[in-house]
Amino acid sequence: MLSIVRQRNSLMFRPRSYMALAITPKPPVVDWLGEIDAQLERSESFFAGQHVALDLSAVNLSPAAIAELVVNLEERNIRVLGIEGIDPAKWQAGLPPILRGGRANGTSQPSGGIARATPAAAAAVTDPQKHQPASLMIRDPVRSGQSIVFTDGDVTVLGSVGSGAEIIAGGSIHIYGALRGRARAGATGNTSARIFCHRVEAELLAIDSCYITADDIEDRLRCQPAQAWLEDGTMQISAMN
Amino acid sequence: MPARSGMARGRHDANFGDELRQRKVVTMAQVLVVTSGKGGVGKTTSTASLGAALARDGAKVAVIDFDVGLRNLDLVLGAERRVVFDLINVINGVAKLSQALIRDKRLETLYLLPASQTRDKDALSEEGVAKVIEELRTKFDWIICDSPAGIERGAMLAMRYADAAIIVTNPEVSSVRDSDRIIGLLDSKTRKAERGERVEKHVLITRYNSVRAARGEMLSINDVLEILSTPLLGIIPESQEVLRASNVGSPVTLNNPLSAPARAYFDAARRLKGESVPMVVPSEGRGIFNKLFARKAA
């Protein structure tokens, strides 16, 4: 799953994920628009600069009605990034694109067989309304074969990350034990993400789309506290003392 | 459960006395899984040796071979000529548990539930295994599940209902990494883990060779424990005695109880029972000579 490019290509495609505010119209739509107006009256800039996804799963609208709703929202300065929850047959040219594969804010996305919902992760999921800094805390060692994927922010591991285990984070990765497996920070395109570990014996370190393998880590750094970051598109690694 | 088996033809000695049957709920049976991920590290040897060590003190011990299709525990215990029914027969209802259990000839409180050699791991069902283990819990103090290598169905079902796990590890990187993987599975795929409880975990280091360790040809005990961050149950030295015992169908703890590996297994068994036994790093044979030699070699 690592789409790794080390040299600069003339054309680069990268998957990116963004936070979007999903709004869900409820029938009757006219009343719902009234509620939006009331919200805007209370807080004029509520939707300013927000990516908005229009979730139409609660209403049954014709293509023309959808187009009208989008126009109505635009009049209120709400720019719709995409539509979800409609039958693709109802989509027509001119409407915002259909979005797929969205998920609620704050969830950690498991992969590779075993995922562990730690209490910290569970807490982040329960209340998406409350804007908490997105981070995932793993209190136990991450064992070989386990994969922790958290694209919403930083991952902190209090124990070690075993050989054959991997951590994938949208933000930075902090490991207070030994890093013997793989760590991929900034996985959603965040080039300022960093990897910190108490003892670097990593199999692979990656930030955004740059990576180095164990062979690229200097011997003098091995088994030392270290950090890795990106500078001009190349991976830097230094001891932390 | 009926105590008499229609198939018991004298040689097949698995009838429980009343005393065994009345044990129900009075004792807290411990279900152990002996596992490793990697093959050939000494799971079966350790199952047999620890089972015999625990049974020698009078505890009632059942060892179960989960390696369906590649059974070995019967050979190591010298019971291969007395196998009539097996685990799969019990799960399928073909035989009763009392018919399939084989009593050890040397220790009357040690029983073996053999695996089937003609079937494969798909024949194991989760409900079937649960039922067998629940029944064994009412009759034994210790139930030791000998896991097959790997992380597939057989291994997953062997650990599924365990209260505690013994992770058998050789002091080398491939074995340690596999053990790390297994520990991760013990913490996520067992019934205890799914209920939010913890499976107690112990690392048993086998095939430890003090001379090679001193030369740096093996991982040190500290390295292994640091990587696995799991408490140590014992260190079993590499020894010809282990192989010799297996070849005559007897656990080393019975075949040569005074040998270095046997003593290490007895210590490990006492630690399992909660006793505090000081850990010694074994140096096999002529101790002081070996130590001098090792130091020179390093």
Q: Predicted ipTM? A: 0.73
Same domain, A176 and A222: yes
Q: How far is A218 from chain B (nearest CA, A)?
A: 21
DSSP class of A89: G
Please give the C-alpha separations between residue A184 and each of A151, A174, A208, in angstroms, as whole numbers: 10, 11, 7
Q: Considering the domain boundaries, does residue A180 fall inside one?
A: yes
Question: What is residue B283's three-state secondary structure?
Answer: coil
Q: Closest CB to B181: pick one of A164, A177, A178.
A: A164
Q: Considering the domain boundaries, does residue A191 fall inside one?
A: yes
Same domain, A140 and A117: no
pLDDT tens digits, B211-244: 898 888 999 999 999 999 999 999 999 999 999 9
Provide the domain count of chain A.
2
- Which pTM value belongs to this model? 0.68
**Where does residue B223 fall: left (phi above 0), alpha (psi -120 to 50 degrees), or beta otherwise?**
alpha
Q: For residues B185 and A226, what is the distance between their CA atoms, to the nearest angstrom?
A: 29
pLDDT of A101 reads 63
Question: What is residue B237's three-state secondary structure?
Answer: strand
Q: For residues B76 and A90, what is the distance between their CA atoms, to the nearest angstrom?
A: 69
pLDDT tens digits, B130-168: 999 999 999 999 999 999 999 999 999 999 999 999 999
Q: Considering the domain boundaries, does residue A130 fall inside one?
A: no
Q: How far is A137 from chain B (nearest CA, A)?
A: 17
Same domain, A118 and A142: no
Residues on chain A touching B229 (C-beta within 8 angstroms): 141, 159-160, 177
Q: Considering the domain boundaries, does residue A8 fall inside one?
A: no
Residue where a domain terminates, one of A94, A123, A152: A123
Residue A112: give its domain's CATH number.
3.30.70
Q: For residues B234 and B264, what is the distance between their CA atoms, to the nearest angstrom?
A: 7
Residues on chain B touching A116 (C-beta within 8 angstroms): 187-188
Residue among A114, A116, A143 with most chain B CBs within 10 A, to mutate: A143
Please give the C-alpha separations between residue B279 and each of A69, A137, B168, in angstroms, as whole numbers: 75, 35, 17
Q: Do A160 and B173 touch (CB under 8 A)?
A: no
Q: How far is B30 from chain A (nearest CA, A)?
A: 25
Q: For residues B185 and B201, what is the distance between their CA atoms, to the nearest angstrom?
A: 12
Same domain, A117 and A141: no
pLDDT tens digits, A9-58: 445 566 666 667 788 888 888 888 888 888 888 777 777 777 788 888 88
Residues on chain B touching A144 (C-beta within 8 angstroms): 177-178, 180-181, 184
Q: Which domain holds residue A182?
A: 135-239
Residue where a domain terminates, one of A123, A146, A164: A123
Q: Do A116 and B181 touch (CB under 8 A)?
A: no
CB count within 10 Å of CB B18 equals 7
Residue where a domain terminates, one of A90, A123, A156: A123
CB distance A54 to A74 below 8 Å: no
For all residues of chain A together, what is the average pLDDT?
Answer: 81
Q: Considering the domain boundaries, does residue A13 fall inside one?
A: no
